[in-house]
Amino acid sequence: MAHDVIISYSSHDKLIADACCAALEAQRIRCWIAPRDVLAGTEYGESILQAIQASQVMLLVFSEKSNKSTYCKKEVERAVGMGKTIVPFRIEDALPSGAMSFFLGNTHWLDALTPPLELRIDELVAGVGRLLNRTENLPSAATAPEISPSPETEAKRFTKLFADRPDVIAVVEAEASQASESIVAEFERHLLRLEVSVPYSAPGYDLNSEHFNRVLIQIEKRDADSEPGRALVSASRQPGATDEEGRKRWHEYERFIGTTARIRDTLIAMGAEVLPLVCVSFRQMNSGDAHNDCRSGFNHTGWIESELVQVMSRLRDFRALPFIADAVLRHPDGMTGHSSFALAIVRAVQSFGVDRNTVDACFERLAGVSASEILREKRERDRH
């Protein structure tokens, strides 16, 4: 069922969270709250991700317990990444710390410290109602403060994450390390397929025996469950295997994995859950010598980086920005209109919908050249 607000809370604060939910729904403000709205048979984490995506507002019942809750931190982080408005409802005299402090930043708070709690909940309902443009029949909480739908403008948030680069990288890396084995396996399988489809289909590229053997090793690790992958490995490992048979199986595997665009779209379809793995892999590739020290043992990762940047930009999750900025800082001399990697970076950053002047100013701070200059150089090169 469609909803307006998702409620994030620690299990220790369930009674107050339920009271907030009941008060909001009494005014026809539709809420999503766990465990009530987690459908039987569905994966808990995926249900919450979908609920955040579908909501307009996240209500955070803030206390010392929720401040320390790993689940609440992840939920707030995802809401920030998806550009949702967060309304912290502080029920204890506690302040956010660590990652929670960063993600809540300049967010406007509603306090419930002064009794009676019922009146504070009425003020919350009135504030959320105004935020959603639902003013009819709301509680008469004239003293309730206005909740700004944009506590931080897109430009300021972009600048903070891209040019100022707070320590979001460590938070996202920690989340990647906690990804489920099934998600990691699926991501690495598609990463392998990207690594196969991009460099080996490039014009003029000749697949030599060294690179062919690298591919076989990776398929044995990550894609041997697929029939074409298993057939390729088996045919190539048999004593007396001919080059002709190996190439036949190779082309069958290529047809099976499909185009680069198809693989990229499959990664995008995995949603926000895969973003930390994409960001971490991108950074590991980009930090290698001349972009060639790929974690999975393949060369030519400059092409793969450009594909992963597209995945990050299509997911439009602001948590990816510090990783993209990190790549710009590592290779400032490569930020020219002659570099396909630089162009992929510029286009990815522009996809976040921030005005051109902000993007240009951030690029100049990081690389000494604006995004507009890089694109202008590309156009001039194309004309000649």
Tens-place pLDDT, residues 12-38: 999 999 999 999 999 999 999 999 998
Is residue 160 domain-resident?
no
pLDDT at 142 over 50: no
pLDDT (average), residues 246-273? 86
pLDDT (average), residues 114-127? 90
pLDDT at 222 over 80: yes
The three-state DSSP-derived secondary structure of 117-155 is: HHHHHHHHHHHHHHHCCCCCCCCCCCCCCCCCCCCCCHH
> What's the pLDDT at 63?
94
Q: Are 278 and 308 in contact (CB under 8 A)?
A: yes
- Give the residue from 97, 87, 154, 163 showing the smallest Cα distance to 126: 87
Is residue 32 domain-resident?
yes
Of 151, 182, 216, the residue that ends a domain is 151
Percent of the chain predicted with pLDDT > 70: 85
130 and 89 fall within a common domain: yes
Q: Which residues span the domain enclosing 368?
A: 168-206+261-383
49 and 131 fall within a common domain: yes
pLDDT band at residue 66 using 50, 70 and 90 as cut-offs = very high
pLDDT at 169 over 90: no
> What's the pLDDT at 24?
94
90 and 172 fall within a common domain: no
64 and 184 fall within a common domain: no
Domain count, the chain: 2
106 and 190 fall within a common domain: no
183 and 305 fall within a common domain: yes
> Which range has the top average pLDDT, 60-69, 346-355, 374-383?
60-69
pLDDT at 293 over 60: no
